Structure 1
Amino acid sequence: MFDQTMTRLHELIIVLYAISILFYFIDFLNKNQKANQFAFWLLAIVWVLQTIFLFLYMFRTGRFPVLTIFEGLYFYAWVLVTLSLGINRLLRVDFTVFFINVIGFIIMAIHTFAPVQIGSQANAEQLVSELLLIHITMAILSYGAFSLSFVFSLLYLLQFKLLKEKKWGQRLWRISDLSKLEKISYISNAVGVPMLLLSLILGVQWAFIKLPDIIWYDPKIIGSFLSLILYSIFLYFRVRKNMFGKSLAMLNIAAFLIVLINFLLISRLSSFHFWYS
């Protein structure tokens, strides 16, 4: 009963941690104070749950949980969350907070989904299956965000063409203005990129557990990381290089085509794909 409760607690922590990182990423891009506050309070909940687990574990074992590698990983993750909260409140170094939490999420995922720490083989298999489920769900949600961004980029190009050709028909007025189309496209990608990043982190963790002999240059794996890189380049050009307009929309469309190729075509050619069944 205790092990089941701890397993569910860990899974809840992973989900809340992922959402917190998502909002920290939004703040990282746009200096959004509301996103920062929401991320902070979610992270505070994560810290409270982690702290509860630490005390429950110490009460059950009668010792401080640092004597094994998996206990050490959990305590390390707790320390990173504690430092992140402190930095966010005291030093206000927001970029540092985001990257610390990405590291903390990786450590927490390794600890949570490593079957070595789980008492029974049945529980281990169930947890690994749930890890795969979370990985796939987050990947599909990120693809949904990229799809939305793709649609708005297409509408941007259409609206741009109509304005350039001075076609003042009904179609022009039914499509939103260029700035709004571009903004929604950008926001969608800003949501999709951290979700895909976290999904790939969990996917790599699952592969290490389930497929120790996996070929890491498999087309599916390369395609997934290529998609992440392309969308990260999109955000970099948008935020750091102040790129706007048609060029950015074309880059976004190209990135989405890579996602489609990876999802529909490369998956059929990949040996990695068949391990999901």
Structure 2
Amino acid sequence: MLTKDWLTDAVLYIYALSLLFFVSDAASGKRKRRRIGTGLLVFVWILQTAFLLDILIARLSMPAVTLQEYAFFVSWLLVSFSLVINRFVRAELLVLLVNAVGFAVLGLNLLERPQKKIVLAPGEAAQKLLVVHVAFIILAFVILTIAALLGGMYLFLNNRLKKKKWGSSMSRMPSLEAIESYVFRAAVVGVPLLLLSLTTGAAALLVENRYSELGDEKVLLSFAAGIVYIVYLLRRMAGKVEGTRVLKWILVGYAMLIVDFFANSYSSFHRWM
């Protein structure tokens, strides 16, 4: 067993097998393999849903979130979004990439630091604000992950088209116009969620009179990432900048979020214990 929990192992193994079928489908174009991969992915989603329901019941009276549970929730959302994408959008490669990220989030965190946890504030008002903060930041991270993957896909496809190098994988991607539209729609949803999570987190600090922590590196980096995303939205809505240039702001903002996540261990603001 990779971990001490059978449900975790089952999810990891089935998830990995599902990814293998998606990779095989991408390489051969055989839809039967894609259907098998989708079926396994649905089973992964069911197992993760059962796990998360158990967490929600257990955490009603205990204001703490372990890193394992956080990773499970992020991975569950990525699987959920990938199933929706797989059903309504013809973008097989995006589905594969989203699930590859979901598997990486789940696997790396579970195998390396399964027992670490983040304890929410003891005050009732601050605790409620931080619950909202954590919920919003998870949703924002998942949606902005998809936006970043789409942004990378746009830059890749645009570069290949400029060099007139067409490959079989490119036929599995939406058009540049469609990708750019999907990125914008994801950002329109993800950025407000990110800003809401930051404001509720800041409000929780103010309620507890922890003013000094507003200057914490992690907090400042989070707000900086939010500003980068706002710049993207403003430049995109202005429509005066080339698609490749404006989409780079999405990737910069997401890179800042990744750095911000790994800064948890060095921050005084709700770090993993």
Q: Which whole-Å CA distance do the structure 1 matches of 2:159 and 2:210 have between them?
A: 51
Which residue of 170, 186, 195 corresponds with 1:197?
A: 195
**How do 1:1-277 residues align onto structure 2 when only pairs under 5 Å count?**
125-264=123-262, 266-274=263-271
* Cα distance per residue 1:228-247 (max 9 Å; x no partner): 10000000110124324211
Structure 2 Cα separation of the partners of residues 140 and 234 of structure 1: 21
Match for residue 38 of structure 2? none
Measured after TM superposition, the shift of residue 128 of structure 1 is 3.1
Q: What SS is found at the alignment partner of 2:215?
A: coil
1:129 alignment partner AA? Q
Aligned letter for 1:261? Answer: V
Larger radius of gyration: 1
The answer to whether the 8 Å contact 2:202/2:214 transfers is no
CA distance in 2, matches of 1:196, 1:241: 23
Q: Is the 8 A contact 1:238 1:244 kept in 2?
A: no
**Alpha-carbon deviation of 1:179?**
0.5
With over 3 angstroms needed to count, the CA separation of the structure-2 counterparts of 1:191 and 1:263, relative to structure 1, is: same
TM-score, normalised on structure 2? Answer: 0.52
3-state DSSP of counterpart to 1:272: coil
How big is the alpha-carbon RMSD for the aligned residues of Structure 1 and Structure 2?
1.9
Contact 2:205 2:214 (8 Å CA) reproduced: no
Deviations 1:35-54 (A, max 9, x none): xxxxxxxxxxxxxxxxxxxx
CA distance in 1, matches of 2:161, 2:211: 55
SS at match of 2:174: coil
What is the distance in 1 between the residues matched to 2:186 and 2:241? 17
- Contact 2:125–2:207 at 8 Å: present in 1 too? no
Residues 208 and 261 from structure 1, CA distance in 2 versus in 1: closer, same or farther, beyond 3 angstroms? same
Aligned residue identity for 2:147:
S
Cα distance, 1:150 vs. partner?
0.3
1:213 shift after superposition: 4.9
- State the percentage of identical aligned residues: 26
Q: Deviations over 1:11-30 (max 9, x none)?
A: xxxxxxxxxxxxxxxxxxxx
Q: Structure 2: which 5+ runs fail to align?
A: 1-121
